[in-house]
Structure 1
Amino acid sequence: MRIVIYINNKSIADVDCSDLTKGNPGIGGTEYCILLLAQLYKRYYPDNQITLIASSKGILPEVDDIVIENNLFAVPQTAKSIAADVLVVSSVFEGKPLPIDFFSAVEAEKIKTITWGHNFYLNDFCNLLVKNDFICANVFVGHQQYDRYIDHEVIRKSTYIYNMYPEVSEPFRKENDGKTVTYIGSLVPTKGFHLLANAWKAVLVEVPDAQLHVVGSGKLYDRNSKLGVYGIAEESYENSFIKGITDRAGELLPSVHFHGVMGEEKKELIARTSVGVANPSGRTETFGISAIDFSSRGVPVVTIASGGFLDTVENEKTGLLYNDTKDLAGCIVRLLKEKEFNEKCGEYGKEYSKQYAPEKLIVKWHEVFELVLKGKRPAIEMPTNFMKNNLKQFRILNRKIKNFLHWEYPISVIGIETIGRNLLRRLGH
């Protein structure tokens, strides 16, 4: 079996990605997961062939072959030319859903393809997957993301496999100082740092010696981005939160520390952290791998009860989930002040994160590859938890009606949501 995996690595070509099992070397979560899959599938299934099609040469993990192709639309043809049995491609390209011309190229080359859902889909994208006979499977990265599409026909091609997270070794957190808070993520609007920045002074009122460490920058996903005056994030975004972390003179508060993009060295900082904060807004989070960065080393997590974080954070056990962003500061303060609760969450988190170990998940990828080769589809799994979340009860009801009628009529909750979203955009919202 020859598996071909595409990676758009032109913005990370200078980053050493030769061994992803050591941790994220300072690249986006999507790129990390793609390269980790290539490396680990080859390790666990050495008799099968793994080829990476990369947009740039880069410093990549060891696989059977690496082919350079900088034209996305030529990737299906390239895969066919090297006798690929299956092509795996992320559903997001340069921050946007795969364009329709890519699907046309897949169809033209008749190459069996698996899309990997590192982003949320709108209705039109779902329809592209459904209508293309050579999109043989679609893999979501989380249970909650999968449930979101339970009443759309795309679910008949879909399954979910959690992102793999190699089991970590030392350093684990050994001491909780009750004051160190760490954020990991890109400093762009969708990653919610502005919510933490604007809540920080409220944290200081309750815990005056608290310290905020920020890992990431506005250049994590686009290393050519032009930053604002403080060099933290893109100018307009930086202006939206800078007052929350500066004094009256416009100087950064002495309690706030920016570390920029960090690779393996961030594990030392995490091991000194009392509370980890992952994307406070939850926007775009199909999985939320930064939550596992913390919990795997024994650090409790604070974030919103939304999206992928419902899969990666267990409320009151591995940290705290809030429903309203106004509660962000309060959750941080609680974990800083309640030392015993904090440490209990940290210890539970270390065990909880082991469910994402590669040896438990790589076999699921192998099963999907075999299904595709046999021309079969994954079985539908009905939702089992968080029934009040994200209109899930309506999605389930609609799926049950479709199953009863044996008719995939074109009405779905994601379809209605897409219409509403497009209407709001036209109105300027």
Structure 2
Amino acid sequence: MNSTFAQKTIYILVFSKAIQGKRFSRFSSNPGVGGTQFISISLALHLAEAYPDWQVRLVSNSEVQLENATQNIKQEIFDEAIDFFKALALLEDHLQSAIILGTASFLNGIDPSLLKKFEARLVCWSHHPFDVGAASLVSKLTPRAVVCVGTYQFYSNKRLNARVYQIQNIFIAPRYPDTDWRETIDPEKLNIVFLGALVPAKGFLEVAKAWRGLKDRFPAVRLHVIGSAGTYGLRSDSGLVPTSSDYAQAILNFIPEEDIHQGLVIFYGNLGEEKFDIIQKCDLAILNPTGYTEAFPASPLECMACGVPVIASDDHGMSDCMRFFPELVLRSPQDIVHRVEWLVADPLRYLEIQHRAIAIAQWFHLQRAVILTRWIRLLEAILDSTDTKLDLAPMLPFYGSRRKLMIRRDIRPRLSVAKRLILSPLKALGVGK
């Protein structure tokens, strides 16, 4: 670790074996890693390019390929995070001009006594609604800030015992579709895409449950599934479905093996830029039908940028983009077939929604400079000790049920604690066993 930095420095922590050897650039899409790892590296590249007066250090246990990177970004490799913090602790003078950015889930796994020395320079980056990792972290120490990425997610974490801000993730749109739009859609030859990791939290099982109904209504329908458990560095044990054997079996309970062999349902696994060749050939996307665990997902925006309307939940982080498509919102996974029917019933209405999808994706794409400026405002305010006056609330208004948010955020955790307090003594006495 270089100890001669004279400039302001931000350390962005990305410890993940899944990123090893992958290629990243400022304007490329996710090469097939977890969204959190991708956006961390993307932010490092964009900050370094936009603010050459800052030194950006990408700290990891795996080296990645950075294309067209500016001179002020460097990689620092450590076997373990503890090695990084021990090395940084020796540079006390440098800490006055340095900030450390790490995800809540990652920082929560590090000994808090080790992090205590750095809490005045520590920014906790939250990528989950109702973030138990962030809550656990701020119960043990006082990070300088907690940064949320989504609007609903910000309000779900707003009452953490910390300064909570919202800075949206950078979204870099893929190439936009050609101008020779198809003005008709053939419901008899539908191609549907699902884009997301094949883990329970992303909701593909609900799409699988709707498969029989989709086939009954649209006999020639094809389902294209992009993603795998490997997105999060997990093993894929099934030969047919790229996920764990248990989850694969659950999926195969609703999607017959014959449909996979006949190419009616195609599992592509993890893809990089080539995924857009598949997405652009599809008529619509069905994404997370519950929204559960989402903070600010890029997958709906990637589909929209390709002119592919998205059917999904508008709950949790899905609300950031699905709020613009109330006609396509799933109130429950059982609505999937009905929403598809409505979308493809009127060709001109479908075309209008296509154009709206591209317009929304472009709007998010154009927020890049705003997002980077918000980051620099936060970082500069921390170094200048003026962050107590800083207000970085969401740019979009709250969307959704405030009552449901209150129950999830304030009431359920208390009920859970009360339940444990009541049941623990009873279990100790053998009651209920």
TM-score range, shorter chain: 0.7 to 0.9
Residues 286, 312 of structure 2: 8 Å contact kept: yes
Say whether 1:210 aligns with 2:210: no
Secondary structure (helix, strand or coil) at the match of 1:159 reads: strand
Say whether 1:260 aligns with 2:269: yes
Gaps in structure 1 of 5+ consecutive residues: 396-410
What is the CA distance between 1:280 and its match in structure 2? 2.1
Cα distance in 1 for residues equivalent to 2:45 and 2:420: 39
**Structure ranking higher in helix proportion:** 2
The code of the aligned residue for 1:301 comes to V
Cα 1:279/1:423, change in 2 over 3 Å: farther
Say whether 1:349 aligns with 2:347: no
Cα distance in 1 for residues equivalent to 2:154 and 2:276: 31
1:13 alignment partner, one of 10, 20, 28: 20
Q: Give the aligned partner of residue 40 of structure 2.
A: 34
Residues 157, 164 of structure 2: 8 Å contact kept: no
Q: Deviations over 1:91-136 (max 9, x none)?
A: 123xxx72251x3222134560111111234557425326523x10
Q: Give the aligned partner of residue 59 of structure 1.
A: 65
Cα 1:349/1:425, change in 2 over 3 Å: farther
Q: Which moved more, 1:300-309 or 1:57-66?
A: 57-66
Q: Give the aligned partner of residue 284 of structure 1.
A: 293
Task: Output aligned runs, 1:211-360, within 5 Å.
Answer: 211-223=222-234, 225-246=235-256, 252=261, 254-316=263-325, 320-357=328-365, 358-360=368-370
1:181 alignment partner, one of 189, 192, 207: 192
Cα distance in 1 for residues equivalent to 2:289 and 2:217: 20
Cα distance in 1 for residues equivalent to 2:297 and 2:267: 21
Cα distance in 2 for residues equivalent to 1:206 and 1:163: 38
The code of the aligned residue for 2:158 comes to I
Residues 207, 333 of structure 1: 8 Å contact kept: no
Q: Deviations over 1:309-344 (max 9, x none)?
A: 111213536x61112111122222322333322221
The code of the aligned residue for 1:44 comes to A
Cα distance in 2 for residues equivalent to 1:169 and 1:153: 42
What is the CA distance between 1:79 and its match in structure 2? 4.0
Q: Give the aligned partner of residue 11 of structure 2.
A: 4
Q: How many residues align?
A: 402
Cα distance in 2 for residues equivalent to 1:139 and 1:159: 5
Q: Give the aligned partner of residue 48 of structure 1.
A: 54
Cα distance in 2 for residues equivalent to 1:81 and 1:347: 55
Residues 246, 253 of structure 1: 8 Å contact kept: no
**TM, length-normalised to structure 1:** 0.84
1:416 alignment partner, one of 405, 414, 417: 414
Residues 205, 250 of structure 2: 8 Å contact kept: yes
Q: Give the aligned partner of residue 116 of structure 1.
A: 125
The code of the aligned residue for 2:201 comes to T
Q: Give the aligned partner of residue 5 of structure 2.
A: none
Cα distance in 2 for residues equivalent to 1:289 and 1:423: 40
The code of the aligned residue for 2:59 comes to I
Provide the alpha-carbon RMSD of the alignment. Answer: 3.1
What is the CA distance between 1:150 and its match in structure 2? 3.2
Q: Give the aligned partner of residue 383 of structure 2.
A: 373
Cα distance in 2 for residues equivalent to 1:227 and 1:424: 40
What is the CA distance between 1:201 and its match in structure 2? 1.4
Q: Which moved more, 1:331-340 or 1:29-38?
A: 331-340
Cα distance in 2 for residues equivalent to 1:240 and 1:390: 33
Secondary structure (helix, strand or coil) at the match of 1:24 reads: coil
What is the CA distance between 1:66 and its match in structure 2? 1.1
Q: Give the aligned partner of residue 192 of structure 1.
A: 203
Cα distance in 1 for residues equivalent to 2:102 and 2:236: 29
Cα distance in 1 for residues equivalent to 2:361 and 2:419: 35
Cα 1:263/1:136, change in 2 over 3 Å: same
Cα distance in 1 for residues equivalent to 2:267 and 2:355: 27
What is the CA distance between 1:188 and its match in structure 2? 1.0
Cα 1:251/1:140, change in 2 over 3 Å: closer
Q: Give the aligned partner of residue 150 of structure 2.
A: 142
Secondary structure (helix, strand or coil) at the match of 1:308 reads: helix
Cα 1:387/1:304, change in 2 over 3 Å: closer
Task: Output aligned runs, 1:385-424, within 5 Å.
Answer: 385-386=398-399, 388-389=401-402, 391-392=404-405, 412-413=410-411, 415-416=413-414, 419=417
Residues 54, 67 of structure 1: 8 Å contact kept: yes
Percent identity, aligned pairs only? 21
Cα 1:166/1:315, change in 2 over 3 Å: closer
Cα distance in 2 for residues equivalent to 1:89 and 1:425: 36
Cα distance in 1 for residues equivalent to 2:422 and 2:212: 34
Q: Give the aligned partner of residue 104 of structure 2.
A: 91
Cα distance in 1 for residues equivalent to 2:16 and 2:133: 26
Cα distance in 2 for residues equivalent to 1:226 and 1:423: 39
Cα distance in 1 for residues equivalent to 2:117 and 2:58: 21
Larger radius of gyration: 2
The code of the aligned residue for 2:401 comes to K
Secondary structure (helix, strand or coil) at the match of 1:259 reads: strand
The code of the aligned residue for 1:379 comes to D
What is the CA distance between 1:295 and its match in structure 2? 1.1
**TM, length-normalised to structure 2:** 0.83
Residues 167, 354 of structure 1: 8 Å contact kept: yes
Cα distance in 2 for residues equivalent to 1:54 and 1:199: 41
Cα distance in 2 for residues equivalent to 1:52 and 1:196: 37
Cα distance in 2 for residues equivalent to 1:37 and 1:229: 36
